[in-house]
Amino acid sequence: MQYKSQAVAKPYFVAAIALFVGQILFGLIMGYQYVAGDFLFPEIPFNVARMVHTNLLIVWLLFGFMGAAYYMIPEEAETELFSPKLALVMFWIFLVAGALTIVGYLTVPYAGLAKWTMNDVWPTMGREFLEQPLPTKLGIVVVALAFLFNISMTTLKGRKTSISLVLLAGLWGLAIFFLFSFFNSSNLAIDKYFWWWTVHLWVEGVWELILGALLAFVLIKVTGVDREVIEKWLYMIIAMTLITGIIGTGHHYYWIGAPEYWQWFGSVFSALEPIPFFMMTVFAFNMVNRRRREHPNKAATLWALGTGVMAFLGAGVWGFLHTLAPVNYYTHGTQITAAHGHIAFYGAYVMVVLTIISYAMPVMRGRAANSDKAQVLEMWSFWLMTVAIVFITLFLTAAGILQVWLQRMSDTPLDFMTTQGKIAIFYWLREITGFVFLLGLVLYIVSFFTGGDSKKAA
Amino acid sequence: MSTTELSSDARQQGTPPGDLAIWFFIYAELLAFGVFFLAYAFARAHHVELFNDSQRFLNRESGAINTVVLITSSYFVVRAVAAIRAGLARQCARWLGGAIGLGAVFLVIKLFEFHAKFSAGISLSTNTFYMFYLSLTIFHFMHVILGMVILAAVMVKALRGGYTAEQHTGVETGASYWHMVDLVWLILFPLVYVIR
Amino acid sequence: MNNIENQRKQFIRPCTRIWLALLALTAVTYGIGHMELGGTHIVMLVLAISFIKGEMVAGFFMGLRHTGLLWRAIMAGWLLIVGGGIAIAYLIGLK
C-alpha cells in the first residue's frame, strides 16, 4: 500500500460484501416466493423482500465505489487522503443509516414508515429503488457530499490523472443525479420521466464512468501497460458512453405518455449503447495481451476480463435485445426485463467492484497477491457466480419469451396469473441456480480467510 | 530517423491522417448518422405520401447553399493542411479561420430555416417527416458547432507556433473530423430535401 | 513533401478540381430537387451522385486515397450500406 490512508477502503469493502450476502439471501427468499407465494407471508411479504433486495444491491455497490475511490485516489493523486477520519465517520453513518432503513422496511408497514418519516412534508417514497424514507435520502446526500469533498480535496492537492478525473466526474454525477429522487411530480408521466434521470443516467451514464475508471486502474496495475495507452482508451469509452447513453434515456420514454419521437430517439441511440461495453471488453483483453509484467494476482486479472465480457453480454447484448421500441412494445415489464437487469448489474457493477476488491484487499493486507490456494478458491467463486448468473439469465429469458407469447402475442392471450403458472418451471430452475450463486459467494468469502504463502510484488 | 521520414513511413503503412483515436470517433459518428439515415428511409417507406407532401415545404435553396458552404469549408481545411505540411503556420491558421467562418454561415442559414419552421408552428411532434427533418438537422447542427470548436482550438495552436511541417497531427486530426461533418451533410441533403 | 510547391502539385491542385466537381454535382442534385423529380431512376441517380461525392471527400479531402485498403474499404462500405439501404427502402415505399 503506497499511502497509509488507503486503508480506510477496507471497512467499506467488508461492509460491501456483507450487504451483498444480505442481498442474495433476500433474492433467494423472493425466488421461492415466485413459486410458493405464501412463503414468509405476512412477516416478509414479496414487496418488502424486493425493497430489501434492490436497496441492499445499490447500497453495497455504493460502499464498493466509495472504498474503490478511497483506495485509488490517494494512489493516483500521489498524496494521502484529505481526511481519513471523515471517511471512517461517514462509513459508520452510512452503515447505520442503511441498516436502520432495512430494519424499517422489515418491521414497519410501509405506509406507517412514510407517516413517521415525514413523507407528507416532502414526498419522495413509494417508487421502485427509491423507497427510502426522506431522512435516509437526506443522509445519503450528506454522506455523498462528505465523500466527494474528501476525494476532491485529495485530488486537488495532488496529481490529476485521467483515471482520477473520470472517477470524480462519475461520482459527482452519481450524487447530482441522485438529487432527482427528491422530485416527485403529481403528474405520473412527468414523475416517471424524471425517475429515469436517477436510474438510467446512473447505470447507463455516470456509473459507466466509474466502471471505466476502476477497470482502467486495475488494468494498469496488473498489466503494466503504458498509462497513456490506457487513458486514451478510457476517454474513448466514456465518450461513447455519454454520446449513446444520454439520449439513450429515451428508451424508457416509449410508453409513459411522452411524445412519440422518443420511440425513435430512444431506439436509435440506445441501440448504440452496447458500443462502449464492447470497447471495454476489447480494451481489457488487449491490455492483458500486451502486458509488460506477470502480476501475481491472477484472480484480479480474471475478474477484470470477466467484467468486460459479462458487462458486454448483460448490459450490451441483453439490453439490445429489448431496446428497440417495436420489440419493447411486447416485452415491456416482463421476465425479459428481469433477465437483463440481473445479468447487467452483475456483469458491469458487481463484477467491477469485486475486481477492485480482488486487487486492493491483498495489498491492504500486506501482500501483492493472495496465496495460490486462496486465488484458486476465489477463481472458483468467480466461475460459480458467473456461470450461475448466465443460467439464471437464460432461464428468465426463456420465461420471458414464453410469457410474451402467451400473454401478449398469441391469438388467445392468457391473463397474467395463468401465464405465471405456465412459466413456473423456469422459476424453479432459477431458484436452484440461485443457490449455486450463493455457494459461489460463500466460497468467495472463504477465500479471504484461506492461508498459504502470499505473493510478493513481481 | 527524422520525423519527416516517420510520417511518410506511416503513410506507406497506410494509416489515415491525424490521430487514430479520432478515426474511431469518426466511425462511431458515421454509424450513428447512418442508423438515423436508414431509420428515415424506412420510416418514409411506410408514409410515402406524408413524406413527399411535407418535404415540399422545406427550403431547398437553404439546403443547397449550405451544401456549397460546407463543401467549400472542407476545401479551406484542405488548404490549411497543405499549408502546415509546407510549414506555413500563419497561412494554415488563415484557411482554418475561413473554414470556421463558413461554418458560422452554415449555422446562421440553418437558424433562419429553423426559425421559419418554428414560426409556422412546426415541431418535433407535427408529423413523422418533420420529426426526422428537425432531429437530423439539429443533430448535425450540433456536430457543426463541435467541429468549429475543434478547428478553432487547432487554429489558436497554429497561431502560437504549435505545429511544424514535421509535426502537425493535431491539424490533420481536426481536419478529418470536419470532413466527416461535411460528408454527413452530403448524404443528409439529398436524402431529406431531394429524394421523393 | 515539405515545400509548398510539392503540396500544390500533390494535394492542392487535385483537391481544387475535386471541389469544383463537388459544386457541380451539388448543382445537379439541387436541380433535381428544384424540379421535384422523383421515381426510381432519378433516385438511383441522386444516390449514385451522393456516393461519388462521398468517395471524393473521403479519398481526396480526407486523404484516404493514400491509405491502406482497409480504411478505404470501411468508408466505401459505409457509403454503400447507407446508400443501398436508402435505395431498398425507397423501392419498398414504391409498392
Per-position DSSP letters for A333-386, written without gaps between them = TSHHHHHHHHHHIIIIIIHHHHHHHHHHHHHHTTSSB--HHHHHHHHHHHHHHH
Residue B73 has pLDDT above 60, yes or no: yes
Q: Pick from C30, C52, C81 the residue to mutate for testing the B interface (most B CBs within 10 Å).
A: C30
Given the C-alpha cell 456509473, which residue does it identify? Answer: A207
Given the C-alpha cell 502486458, which residue does it identify? Answer: A291
Quick one: average pLDDT of A159-167?
A: 97
Exposure string over A228-239, b if 16+ CB within 10 A, otherwise e: ebbbbbbbbbbb
**Number of CB pairs, chain A paired with chain B, less than 8 A apart:** 37
Q: Which residues of C touch B167 (CB under 8 A)?
A: none
In the prediction, which pLDDT does C9 show?
A: 78
Quick one: average pLDDT of A404-419?
A: 97
Q: Could you tell me what percent of chain A has a pLDDT over 70?
A: 100
In the prediction, which pLDDT does A457 show?
A: 64
Q: Which residues of B touch C2 (CB under 8 A)?
A: 4, 85-87, 165
> Do the Cβ atoms of C86 and B37 come within 8 Å?
yes
In the prediction, which pLDDT does B13 show?
A: 59
Given a contact cutoff of 8 angstroms between Cβ atoms, the answer to whether A67 and A12 are in contact is yes
- Angle formed by the axes of helices A227-248 and A207-223, nearest 10°: 160
Nearest CA in chain B to C39: B196
Report CA-CA distances (Å) from C91 to A182, B50, C51: 51, 16, 18
Count Cα atoms within 13 angstroms, Cβ side, for A86. Answer: 17
For A296-321, how does the pLDDT look when each residue is reduced to its tens digit (9 = 90+)?
999 999 999 999 999 999 999 999 99
Q: In this structure, what C-alpha cell is assigned to residue A290?
A: 500486451
C2 band by pLDDT with thresholds 50, 70 and 90: low
Q: Pick from C64, C86, C91, C95 the residue to mutate for testing the B interface (most B CBs within 10 Å).
A: C86
In the prediction, which pLDDT does B2 show?
A: 37
Q: Could you tell me what percent of chain A has a pLDDT over 90?
A: 98
Of A51-65, A119-133, C9-23, the one with minimum mean pLDDT is C9-23
Please choose, from the candidates A328, A393, C93, the residue with its C-alpha nearest in 3D space to the C-alpha of residue B41.
C93
In the prediction, which pLDDT does C7 show?
A: 73
Which of A239, A259, A267 is facing B125, going by the closest CB pair? A259
Neighbours of A175 (CB within 10 A): 16
Angstroms from B117 CA to nearest CA on chain C: 19
In the prediction, which pLDDT does A89 show?
A: 97
Q: Please give the Cα distance from B112 to B158 (Å, whole number).
A: 33
Neighbours of A278 (CB within 10 A): 16
Given a contact cutoff of 8 angstroms between Cβ atoms, the answer to whether A454 and A369 are in contact is yes
In the prediction, which pLDDT does B3 show?
A: 37
Residue C74 has pLDDT above 70, yes or no: yes
Q: Please give the Cα distance from C64 to B20 (Å, whole number).
A: 13
In the prediction, which pLDDT does A262 show?
A: 97
Given a contact cutoff of 8 angstroms between Cβ atoms, the answer to whether A416 and A407 are in contact is yes
In the prediction, which pLDDT does C12 show?
A: 84
Residue C4 has pLDDT above 80, yes or no: no
For A215-248, how does the pLDDT look when each residue is reduced to its tens digit (9 = 90+)?
999 999 999 999 999 999 999 999 999 999 999 9
Neighbours of A432 (CB within 10 A): 14
Residue type, B147: G
- Residues of chain A whose beta carbon is less than 8 angstroms from a beta carbon of chain B are 232, 235-236, 239-240, 243-244, 259-261, 264-265, 267-269, 271-272, 275
The mean predicted confidence, pLDDT, of chain B is 92
In the prediction, which pLDDT does B5 show?
A: 34
Angstroms from C62 CA to nearest CA on chain B: 6
Residue C6 has pLDDT above 90, yes or no: no
> Do the Cβ atoms of C82 and B46 come within 8 Å?
no
Q: Could you tell me what percent of chain C has a pLDDT over 90?
A: 79
Q: Could you tell me what percent of chain B has a pLDDT over 70?
A: 93
> Do the Cβ atoms of B32 and A236 come within 8 Å?
no
Chains C and A touch (3+ CB pairs under 8 A): no
Radius of gyration of chain C from its Cα atoms, rounded to whole angstroms: 16
Which residue(s) pair with A369 in the sheet? A455
Quick one: average pLDDT of A176-190?
A: 96
> Do the Cβ atoms of A268 and B125 come within 8 Å?
no
> Do the Cβ atoms of C12 and B82 come within 8 Å?
yes
Q: Please give the Cα distance from A72 to A56 (Å, whole number).
A: 24
> Do the Cβ atoms of C89 and B196 come within 8 Å?
no
> Do the Cβ atoms of C26 and B52 come within 8 Å?
no
| ipTM of predicted assembly, 2 dp | 0.92
In the prediction, which pLDDT does A106 show?
A: 97
Q: Pick from B70, B71, B72 the residue to mutate for testing the C interface (most C CBs within 10 Å).
A: B71
Which of C3, C61, C92 is facing B86, going by the closest CB pair? C3
Residue B8 has pLDDT above 60, yes or no: no
Q: Please give the Cα distance from A449 to A207 (Å, whole number).
A: 31
Nearest CA in chain B to A244: B32
C58 band by pLDDT with thresholds 50, 70 and 90: very high
Which of B27, B71, B175 is facing C74, going by the closest CB pair? B27
For A100-117, how does the pLDDT look when each residue is reduced to its tens digit (9 = 90+)?
999 999 999 999 999 999
Quick one: average pLDDT of B40-53?
A: 96
Torsion of CA A40, A44, A50, A55, to 10 degrees: -140
- Residues of chain B whose beta carbon is less than 8 angstroms from a beta carbon of chain A are 21, 24-25, 28, 31-32, 35-36, 39, 43, 124-125, 131-132, 135
Q: Which residues of B touch C68 (CB under 8 A)?
A: 13-15
Q: Which residues of C touch B164 (CB under 8 A)?
A: none
Angstroms from A232 CA to nearest CA on chain B: 8
Angstroms from A210 CA to nearest CA on chain B: 21
Residue B1 has pLDDT above 80, yes or no: no
> Do the Cβ atoms of C38 and B52 come within 8 Å?
yes
Nearest CA in chain A to B42: A264
Residue B32 has pLDDT above 50, yes or no: yes
Chains A and B touch (3+ CB pairs under 8 A): yes
> Do the Cβ atoms of B39 and A265 come within 8 Å?
no
C11 band by pLDDT with thresholds 50, 70 and 90: confident
Subunits next to B (3 or more Cβ pairs <8 Å) are A, C
Q: Pick from C62, C80, C95 the residue to mutate for testing the B interface (most B CBs within 10 Å).
A: C62
Residue B10 has pLDDT above 70, yes or no: no
Q: In this structure, what C-alpha cell is assigned to residue A273?
A: 449503447
Name residues 1-60 of chain C within 8 A of B (Cβ): 1-4, 6-8, 11-12, 15-16, 19, 22-23, 26-27, 29-30, 32-34, 36-38, 43, 46-47, 49-50, 53-54, 57-58, 60
Q: Which residues of B touch A234 (CB under 8 A)?
A: none
Neighbours of B55 (CB within 10 A): 21
Residue B176 has pLDDT above 90, yes or no: yes
Q: Please give the Cα distance from B49 to B128 (Å, whole number).
A: 12
Angstroms from B36 CA to nearest CA on chain A: 7
In angstroms, how far is CA C76 from the centroid of its own chain? 10
In the prediction, which pLDDT does C95 show?
A: 76
In angstroms, how far is CA A247 from the centroid of its own chain? 21
Given the C-alpha cell 484480479, which residue does it identify? Answer: A300
Q: Pick from C61, C66, C94, C95 the residue to mutate for testing the B interface (most B CBs within 10 Å).
A: C61
